């Protein structure tokens, strides 16, 4: 996973890879990556996957204010010591309608994606049907470790994008000065 994350240069592909790998490791039915937007003080859906199919991170998932008190399941799960909470099918349909219909309870596992300074980059939400695959302490710990590696890859990729944008702006400034 580390090699794959380090070698991926396309940010959207990096998000897909990250989501697929962590979903596979935890045997989750689906997952959503939310990225933090400091201008809006919100976590915004960037990538979603359900039953092996990538879904558009549409407006139906919606932004989640952060930090803020909210009834959104992600806010609730981030407040839990083990970052897990059980939600029923009705709540799944209410908060995550674009994932499709769910007939049983799901365990929501939230993996905060923090940079080296501890600043929040985003949150990876995984939906696990514990009737099919129980989430034990070892599996949660392994997923947290992988999410740390993923956070470093996301941070590195965002720094590279910022450098590209800065270089492009500098080139345009020079081109304007030459003209």
* Closest residue by Cα to residue 47 from 154, 143, 149: 154
Q: Is the pLDDT of residue 146 over 80?
A: no
- What mean pLDDT is predicted for residues 120-145? 83
CA dihedral 122, 27, 84, 35 (to 10 degrees): 10
Give the range among 5-19, 39-53, 155-169 with minimum mean pLDDT. Answer: 5-19
2 confidence band (pLDDT: 50, 70, 90):
low
Strand partners, 127: 30, 108
- Tokens representing 131? 């009737």
Distance of CA 82 to the CA centre of its chain: 17
Backbone angles phi, psi at 127, to 5 degrees: -110, 110
* CB within 8 Å of 134: residues ≥ 6 apart: none
């Amino acid at each position: 996973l580390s090699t794959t994350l380090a070698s991926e240069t396309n940010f959207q592909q990096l998000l897909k890879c990250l989501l697929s790998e962590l979903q596979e490791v935890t045997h989750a039915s689906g997952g959503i990556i939310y990225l933090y937007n400091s201008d809006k003080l919100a976590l915004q859906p960037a990538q979603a996957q359900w039953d092996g199919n990538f879904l558009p991170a549409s407006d139906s998932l919606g932004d989640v204010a952060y930090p803020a008190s909210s009834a959104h399941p992600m806010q609730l799960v981030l407040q839990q010591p083990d970052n897990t909470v059980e939600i029923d099918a009705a709540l799944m349909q209410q908060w995550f309608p674009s994932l499709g219909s769910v007939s049983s309870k799901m365990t929501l596992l939230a993996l905060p994606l923090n940079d080296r300074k501890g600043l929040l980059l985003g949150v990876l939400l995984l939906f696990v049907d514990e009737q099919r695959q129980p989430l034990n302490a070892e599996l949660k710990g392994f997923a947290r470790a992988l999410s740390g590696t993923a956070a470093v890859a996301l941070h590195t990729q965002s720094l590279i994008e910022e450098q590209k944008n800065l270089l492009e702006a500098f080139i345009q400034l020079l081109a304007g000065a030459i003209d």
